[in-house]
Amino acid sequence: MKNFLTNLKTSAAGAAAILGAVADVLTQASTKSWSMERLVADFAAASAGVGLIFAKDGNVTGGSVRQ
């Protein structure tokens, strides 16, 4: 597996999604006001963030094999 941080555009978006989800979970924990809807949304955002971290950049075309 190649270094996933070489895809800076998608890795930055993925990291932002994960950090936002973690921040919301920490906010819910500190206020002790848990919401199932928000937890589901946080899980979805974290999952999308992981997918973005391992995705290819938008300006990259084709496979990984050099022609």
Which residues lie closer than 8 Å to 34 by C-beta, 6 or more apart? 28
Looking at the domain assignment, is residue 58 inside a domain? no
- pLDDT reported for residue 53: 86
Looking at the domain assignment, is residue 45 inside a domain? yes
The whole domain housing 45 covers 4-53
Question: 7: which DSSP letter?
Answer: -
Looking at the domain assignment, is residue 32 inside a domain? yes
8 Å CB contact between 27 and 10:
no
8 Å CB contact between 6 and 57:
no
Please indicate, yes or no, whether the overall pTM of this predicted structure exceeds 0.85.
no
Q: In which residue are the tokens 């990291």 written?
A: 15
In this predicted model, what pLDDT tens digit does every residue of 24-35 receive, in sequence order? 999 999 999 999
Which residues lie closer than 8 Å to 11 by C-beta, 6 or more apart? 4, 5, 52, 53
Looking at the domain assignment, is residue 26 inside a domain? yes
Q: How many domains does the chain have?
A: 1
